[in-house]
Amino acid sequence: MTWLVTGAAGFIGSHLCRRLVADGEQVVGVDCLVESVDPDLAAARAASLEGLPGFAFERLDLRDHDAVAALVAAVAPDVVVHLAARAGVRQSHREPMSYLDNNVVAFGGLLEACRRAEVGHLVYASSSSVYGNSTTPFSVDAPADHPVSVYGATKRMNELQAHTYSHVYGLPTTGLRFFTVYGPWGRPDMAYFAFADAILRDEPITVYGDGSALRDFTYVDDIVEGVVRLALRPPTPDPTWTPDRGDLGSSSAPWRLCNIGYGEQVSVNRLIALLEELLGRPARRVSAPPQQGEVPATQADVSALERAIGTVPKVPLEVGLRSFVEWLVDYRGRR
């Protein structure tokens, strides 16, 4: 099969591309190579993909709709996996228009390109942020119409755009609500990475709130496994679906939503304690007020995922975090 992966130089995208070529697939990776947090890390991710058999790279800004349409038509992919986006809750409140432009408008252009090229399946990254302050565990069958961050709102808009294209044009689409993804080659702006980096450098860490916030930490290999399995199983219309049935993760169109999360909650305080243990040194904490848009707890209900692919994420935080720390120590030692 031929796959087109956007955000190929990103955290999840680079892992996915390596997995796909290891499976013998043909992969075209797309990225604009703009990383506001750590440009060197983005370049290193891209470099790690160079020369892989079956992999080709295209540098492209997804906001250029004509160029996107031309590329999708030329590649004629069986599957498109859309992982490119402006990420991060806090930054989205400082640059809301950039998030709308990069996340919503760019996705609209990709949807149109996939429709015209008759792509067999479009899989795209959504986020647990769409749930806002809902009661945990978050279920795809529950409403997600009250996000509390600009970032979360852009992801919910994408889900609605995708449903329209699935309904009107018959384009099969799957939206994946990721839960706090962590692991090697991760995002330096996320707490686990920022904390570990600061502890390594003997610098203070900033803890927003009292550290009691709960997160559903999901190892990147589990995310990739879910993406691949779901991508190979395009959704089909549910002929029994009705608007009043309460099944909000599926549709009478070839459209679906799935959570991908480990399914358990871990506090920020516990995360810090694990990092201290793995790094062999204490963290120096600086307290700060809770940030707008950050929710007190997340947790994935993964029953829809298990029904769709027969498995759920399995890597516990203690195991995945050790792999991340080993990678970080090696990566920083080579810089």
DSSP per residue, 296-323:
SB--B--HHHHHHHS------HHHHHHH
Residue 255, classed as helix, strand or coil, is: strand
pTM value is: 0.96
Q: Is the separation of the CB atoms in 259 and 302 below 8 Å?
A: yes
What is the three-state SS of 58-80?
A: EECCCCCHHHHHHHHHHHCCCEE
Provide the sign of the torsion angle of the four alpha carbons 40, 43, 47, 48, taken in this order. Answer: positive
Range name among 22-26, 37-41, 151-155 with the lowest pLDDT average: 37-41
Rounded distance, CA 328 to CA 313, Å?
Answer: 23
- Within the chain, residue ranges assigned H as helices are 11-22, 39-49, 65-75, 89-94, 96-99, 106-117, 150-169, 191-200, 220-231, 268-279, 303-309, 317-334
Give 65's contacts (C-beta < 8 A, 6+ positions apart).
109, 112, 113
The burial class, CB within 10 Å (0-12 / 13-18 / 19+), for 247 is middle
Mean pLDDT of 123-150: 95
What are the structure tokens assigned to 40, written together? 């060197």
Helices marked H in 175-232 — which ranges? 191-200, 220-231
| Cα–Cα distance for residue pair 4/27, rounded to 1 Å | 6
39 pLDDT band, cuts 50/70/90, is confident
Residues 44 and 56: their CA atoms lie apart, in Å, by 16
Known catalytic residues are 151
Per-residue pLDDT tens over the stretch 205-248: 999 999 999 999 999 999 999 999 999 999 999 989 987 887 89
Residue 291: its pLDDT value, please?
Answer: 87
Instruction: Report, in this order, helix, strand and coil percent for the chain, each rounded to 5.
Output: 45, 15, 40
334, pLDDT greater than 90: no
Beta strands in 220-289 (DSSP E): 255-260, 266-267, 285-288
Is it the case that residue 36 has pLDDT exceeding 70? no
- Domain containing 203: what range? 2-334
Q: How far apart are CA 177 and CA 126, in angstroms?
A: 5
| CA dist., res. 269 & res. 250, Å (int) | 36
> Percentage of the chain with pLDDT > 90?
92
Length of the chain: 335
Tens-digit pLDDT profile for residues 133-143: 999 999 999 99
CA–centroid distance for 202 within its chain: 30
Residue 38: partners with Cβ closer than 8 Å, 6 or more residues away: 188
How many structural domains comprise the chain? 1
Q: Residue 37: give its domain's CATH number.
A: 3.40.50.720
Q: Quote the tokens at residue 289.
A: 């007020």
What's the rounded Cα separation, in Å, for the pair 8 and 27? 10
Dist. CA 93–CA 81, nearest whole Å: 26
In sequence order, what are the beta bridge partners of 43? none
Average pLDDT, the chain: 95
Q: Give tens-digit pLDDT for 265-316.
A: 999 999 999 999 999 999 999 999 988 888 999 999 999 999 999 999 999 9
Question: Taking 90 as the threshold, does the pLDDT of residue 256 lie above it?
Answer: yes
- Of the given ranges (175-189, 195-209, 233-247, 318-332), which has the lowest mean pLDDT? 233-247
